[in-house]
Amino acid sequence: MQFHFNNQTNFYSGKVRDVYSIGQEWLVMIASDRISAFDVILPKHIPFKGQVLNQIAAFMLAQTKDICPNWLLDVPAPNVSIGVKCNPIAVEMVVRGNLVGHAWRTYQSGKRELCGAQLPDGLNENDYFPTPIITPSTKAAEGHDEDISPDEILKRGLCTKEEWDTMCQYALALFARGKALAIKQGLILADTKYEFGKHHGKIMLMDEVHTPDSSRYFYADGFEARQLKGEKQIQLSKEFVREWLIANHFMGKEGQTVPEMTEDWVQTISLRYIELYEQLIGERFKPENLTEAQTKEFIEKSLHQITQL
């Protein structure tokens, strides 16, 4: 579905979100049920995924607004957020507390440096780093994530030294808060990413925060025992979708074909997203099915109030 709103100045359909610019000051962000991996949109929608992501992000933005300002102003519908429009800083701040995912694949290849961060010898998959590390990425010309070092970020002029230092300070503080919130619910926040932008000269946190699309979580119960035995950790994240794709010989490379997504597999993914919501937020998930007309009505009412301020 695509809407049109009063004073709309732009529309952008991303991999998983539809974003509407309202005037020069505001954004309407609709989290769809699309799912992507390896920068490819998979062929089937995941029921309630948009609502899960949007509501987790809104919860986490509220829980971290004392650390740094963020873009969010209102959540008028289950899968909709409205906030201020920022000029994005073209650097994703990836914070890693554990050796997992891309960092583990890099480590396993024998490398001991990732995006300028040193990786100590002697670690096993999922082990904690001595302290959390920042491994930034940016977008290459074709739109894929690209590893980049802080020196290269400054050399390319993607941000100033002052902006970089501020984003590092924010990112590490946000990660510490995210870990504290997770452990209360029996989870370990293993890694995540943050995106920042500038609004009237102020650096603000943008986009989603601490969701299963932007983060990896482990169950804390039994974590140490599983590590000692070399057993696979129990994850709550989108990594299981990536692992399924890899097992079926798809990593988004040219010539590869997305494996068939059966209805049972689609429902499994949906239930895993709902599981993470309930585990992380500590509340039962309440699925909502609004019509397009209802969603548009709620957005327009919220926009009217916000734009009159």
Of the candidates 54, 106, 113, the one whose C-alpha atom is nearest the C-alpha of residue 288 is 54
What's the confidence (pLDDT) of residue 268? 94
The pLDDT tens digits of the residues spanning 212-267 come to 888 999 999 999 999 999 999 988 878 789 889 999 999 989 899 999 999 999 99
**Fold designation for 87-237:** D-amino Acid Aminotransferase; Chain A, domain 1 (3.30.470)
Model confidence at 143: pLDDT above 60: no
Give the DSSP H or E segment for 53: helix 49-64
Of the candidates 93, 1, 17, the one whose C-alpha atom is nearest the C-alpha of residue 53 is 17
The dihedral sign for the CA sequence 152, 155, 161, 164:
negative
Angle at 222 between CA 133 and CA 121, to 5 degrees: 35
Mean pLDDT of the chain: 94
Of the given ranges (14-18, 229-233, 305-309), which has the lowest mean pLDDT? 305-309
The pLDDT tens digits of the residues spanning 32-48 come to 999 998 889 999 999 99
- Listed by start position, the domains of the chain span 87-237
What's the confidence (pLDDT) of residue 62? 97
In this structure, are residues 97 and 132 in contact, taking their beta carbons and an 8 Å threshold?
yes
pTM for this predicted structure: 0.91
Q: How many CB atoms lie within 10 A of CB 113?
A: 12
Mean pLDDT, range 97-115, rounded to an integer = 96
